[in-house]
A and B are shown apart, each in its own frame.
Chain A
Amino acid sequence: MDYETNETHVGMADMKIAKAPAVLTSLGIGSCVGVILYYARAKIGGLAHIMLPDIDSVKNKVNRAKFANTAIPDLLEKLENLGADRRFVKVKIMGGAHMFGFSKTNKVFNIGARNVEKVREVLKALKLRLVAEDVGGSYGRSLYFYLETGEVRVRTIAHGERTI
């Protein structure tokens, strides 16, 4: 099984698994959602940078890492293959901003909120525990996920920096 042990960037519609002392990063997340799974006992975890809620609602199903309802189960499966016990896997989510002034009722430009809603639904169905989140607003976020501690540093341009 492949996993990262250094600092690795997870681009849009991608996912990576890593083990301490790795750092997984996703830079400039807007309406996308960064989903982090962490299994503290083995210091392994994964980050999925999802773009869309539902693989079943689109024609183009090439990349499973792009969708909430495929990326999260895939990520969990990879961690379980490395020995993670899902009862102790902790989840953190970040992103899902509403970036544009365009109407919030517009389906296309309301995607941030729809992404977050679907992520919660998938986590519930998988009985995964959401321990922290930093979602919504109308600004971008960069994530730094430290596998050593399980902490996630969230950096923004005008809305401060925090660790969750």
Chain B
Amino acid sequence: MSKDKIILTDRQKDVLKEMANICAGNAATSLSQLLNRKIEMNVPQVDFMPVSSVPEAVGGAEALVVGVVFQVFGDAPGVILLLFPQPDARVLASILTGKYDSSKVFTEMDQSAVKEASSILSGAYLNTLTSFTQLGLIPSTPSIIIDMAGALIDGILIQLAAVTEYALLIDSEFVDEEKSVRGHFFLLPNPGSLESILSSIGA
């Protein structure tokens, strides 16, 4: 597998997609239990793209977003990024805190709530990924940023950019229909990690 431009076979793509689907499904179930409401997860997208196109894929470089970032340590290091448009992040926070005040700024409490929901999602996602691959994967504590999508993502991409021109983006959209919360869950494996994941499942 060339480091510079990794080409996945259709089968490998399908396997990744199926795995991401089950991981995301379990993550959605965990969040549903926490919130006691139905959370849907759409079929994940698995895309290879030039590093420079990633900001467009996450909604445009200048779009105002709330992002929660986890570093993933262990046998297949990488980064997990959850992105919410700001109004959606506020609604998500209000489901947890029981308070919604549109006149208020995004409070410390709201941030904490969004971090908590994100921790549940990423924890469940990684647990499932671990049971598939038998790889040890440990998330860092979350870091939350409210800023332009481009600014948020470039720091993450920089470490990839040292090694490759391409990023693998596994994107699962989750939706709470009733409250209309939409968010994106991205898994960005480091270049070497993708090989570890694929070989551990024999793909």
Residues of A within 8 A of B (CB): 11-14, 27-32, 51-52, 57-60, 62-63, 66, 97, 99-102, 108-109, 111-112, 139-142, 157-158
Contacts and interface: CB of A to CB of B under 8 A. Distances in A.
10 contacts: A12-B55, A12-B157, A13-B52, A28-B61, A28-B151, A30-B150, A59-B162, A60-B164, A141-B151, A158-B146
Nearest to B151: A140
A13 B69 CA distance: 22
A22 to B, nearest CB: 19
Given A62-B4, A97-B151, A51 B157 contact: yes
A28 B55 contact: yes
A51 B154 contact: yes
Given A11-B55, A13-B52, A30-B150, 15 more contacts: A11-B52, A11-B53, A28-B148, A30-B151, A52-B161, A59-B162, A60-B163, A60-B165, A97-B151, A99-B151, A99-B154, A109-B155, A140-B147, A141-B151, A158-B147
B158 interface: yes
Interface of B: 3-4, 51-53, 55, 60-62, 64, 69, 71, 140, 143-155, 157-159, 161-165
A60 B62 contact: no
Contacts of A112: 155
Contact of A62 (B140, B146, B153, B165): B165
Contacts of A109: 155
Contacts of B140: 102
Contacts of B69: 100
A51 to B, nearest CB: 5
A14 to B, nearest CB: 6
Contacts of A111: 155, 158-159
A140 B149 CA distance: 9
B141 to A, nearest CB: 8
Chain B, interface SS category: mixed
Given A27-B62, A99-B145, A142-B148, A58 B154 contact: no
Contacts of A58: 162-163
Contacts of A28: 55, 61-62, 148-154
A140 B55 CA distance: 13
Nearest to A65: B52
A102 B62 contact: no
A117 B153 CA distance: 21
Nearest to B165: A62
A9 B139 CA distance: 35
Contact of A99 (B61, B147, B165): B147
A52 B164 contact: no
A14 B55 CA distance: 14
A28 B77 CA distance: 26
Contacts of A101: 143-144
A29 B143 CA distance: 18
B57 to A, nearest CB: 12
Given A27-B62, A102-B71, A102-B140, A13 B161 contact: yes
A74 to B, nearest CB: 17
A52 to B, nearest CB: 6
A29 B165 contact: no
B91 to A, nearest CB: 20
A111 B162 CA distance: 12
Nearest to A98: B155
